[in-house]
Amino acid sequence: MIDVTIPCPPLVPIRQHLPRPRLENVEVEATQRVAPLLAHVQPGERIAITAGSRGIRDIVPILRGVVRAVRQAGAEPLIIGAMGSHGGGTAEGMRRILNDLGITPDAVGAEVYTGNDVVGLGTTPSGLTVWCDRMAASCHAILLVNRIKMHTLFREPFGSGLQKMIVIGLGRVPMAEAIHRRGPANMPAAISEVAAVALASGKFLGGLAIVENGYEETALLEAIPADRLAERELALFEQANALMPRLPVGKIDVLIVEEMGKNISGTGMDVNVTGRWRLRGVTDPPYPDVKRLVVLRLTPQSEGNATGLGCADITTEALFKSIDRRATYLNALTSTIVERVAIPMIMPTEQAAIAAALKTFGGDPAAARVVRIVNTLHLEELWLTENLVAEALNGGDCEVVGPPRPLAYDADGRLMPYTAS
């Protein structure tokens, strides 16, 4: 099918030194930060605490700290799975995702609930019904917990965070579908509108915002009361954006992404890293400029949801066979973004997939500008061809940590980890 003997130029291992503000004891910090939001909670009241589907590194100790704060206030905590249509849109699927993330009753110290039923909290001025998880709405109050980071459908004025948790996380499939029907350009305004009505219902105490550094460590936690939530999220989004890791080079002939998945990004591969937005009517950013993107594997935590695969040009037979089309297409039907679930060229092995990218990028494979990353979430360690090293060293805080070496494959054509020896 393809000449797998097409050689890739040797790659040099690079380490990026990313900004690293971090909290030492996130569980204790979470308890202390949330306590003021619980000042008016009455003994015996039940407080819903949201938990989403993204791979937030410290989510278990953070939730454990929030649960402790609720109990110290005399109330009863309940963890609510808040993840829109993820997990195939089913209670069982959502529970599996939470279990995979370590969010279990034993781990966080509270009951964990997942369900599909929603109830209306009001109507927006433009006529949108504001849906909310029925169990969460039945509690005395709701406390949001979520990470703030860049979104994969729009770039400003805010990203994925507490308002999105209110609207799409707690609103389940009905709310997610209604918001996505507005289209990417109108989503921020729709989210703000729905969140404002939900917050005005009096059901929300506020939220605990998480900002991570480029190593997935918790850089800061901020408890925000409901009446200041929208305002503070804008400011925290700017901080999160400044800490987000990026590729240290701009023009790339072949970008090799070893794995994609829903635990890495809502689009499997963060479009803010790859520059591949693949949205009708939305122009891709000029940086980075990637001619061929090849992705090799789908993480087990994705449970077959390959949303974002359409952003790649080439993939593997193994990844294709691991796709759960129901989960993937539900995500696309909910978001209305079908381009991102399109199937790229499928090659029999990882070696053949990379060879296909080198063959088709439009230049001499021996002089190709190649970047290899594990995934778009972990960019502190990456591999570059020698013709990109100077740019990386000049443009960012990077260092070379080993000699150039050719890509290595096992007997089945699977890409092997880099070794410096």
Residue pLDDT, tens place only, 189-204: 999 999 999 999 999 9
How far CA 278 is from CA of 153, 156, 331, in Å, comes to 10, 17, 15
Q: So what's the pLDDT on residue 54?
A: 72
Q: So what's the pLDDT on residue 150?
A: 84
Q: So what's the pLDDT on residue 90?
A: 85
If you average pLDDT over each of 70-74, 239-243, 378-382, which comes out highest?
A: 70-74
Distance in angstroms (rounded) separating the CA atoms of residues 144 and 224? 9
Distance in angstroms (rounded) separating the CA atoms of residues 241 and 212? 10
- Any idea of the CA torsion for 210, 213, 216, 220, to the nearest 10 degrees? -30
Per-residue pLDDT, averaged over 298-313, amounts to: 94
Q: Is the pLDDT of residue 420 over 60?
A: no
pLDDT-based confidence at 88, cuts 50/70/90?
confident
Distance in angstroms (rounded) separating the CA atoms of residues 159 and 243? 14
Distance in angstroms (rounded) separating the CA atoms of residues 259 and 50? 28
Could you tell me if 295 and 309 are in contact, meaning their C-beta atoms sit under 8 angstroms apart?
Answer: yes
pLDDT-based confidence at 86, cuts 50/70/90?
confident
Q: So what's the pLDDT on residue 160?
A: 85
Instruction: Kindly list the strands in the beta sheet with 218-225, ordered across the sheet, starting from the edge strand earlier in the chain.
Output: 111-113, 76-81, 46-51, 141-147, 204-212, 218-225
pLDDT-based confidence at 393, cuts 50/70/90?
very high
Distance in angstroms (rounded) separating the CA atoms of residues 59 and 51? 8
- CATH number of 26-243: 3.40.50.11440, 3.90.550.10, 2.130.10.10, 3.30.420.40? 3.40.50.11440
Q: Is the pLDDT of residue 85 over 60?
A: yes
% of the chain beyond a pLDDT of 70: 99
pLDDT-based confidence at 61, cuts 50/70/90?
very high
Could you tell me if 119 and 135 are in contact, meaning their C-beta atoms sit under 8 angstroms apart?
Answer: no
Q: Is the pLDDT of residue 171 over 90?
A: yes
**Hey, what amino acid is at 321?**
K
Q: Which residue has the tokens 């990417």?
A: 184
pLDDT-based confidence at 1, cuts 50/70/90?
low
Report domain extents, the chain.
11-18+246-400, 26-243
Q: Is the pLDDT of residue 232 over 70?
A: yes
Between residues 144 and 377, the one the model is more confident about: 144
Q: So what's the pLDDT on residue 89?
A: 75
Instruction: Tell me what the pLDDT averaged over the chain comes to.
Output: 93
Q: Is the pLDDT of residue 421 over 60?
A: no
The C-alpha angle 296, 329, 163, rounded to 5 degrees, equals 95
Per-residue pLDDT, averaged over 216-232, amounts to: 96
Q: Note the pLDDT tens digit of each residue in 321-368.
A: 999 999 899 888 888 889 999 999 999 999 999 999 999 999 999 999
Q: How crowded is the C-beta side of 275, counted as CA atoms within 13 Å?
A: 19
pLDDT-based confidence at 186, cuts 50/70/90?
confident
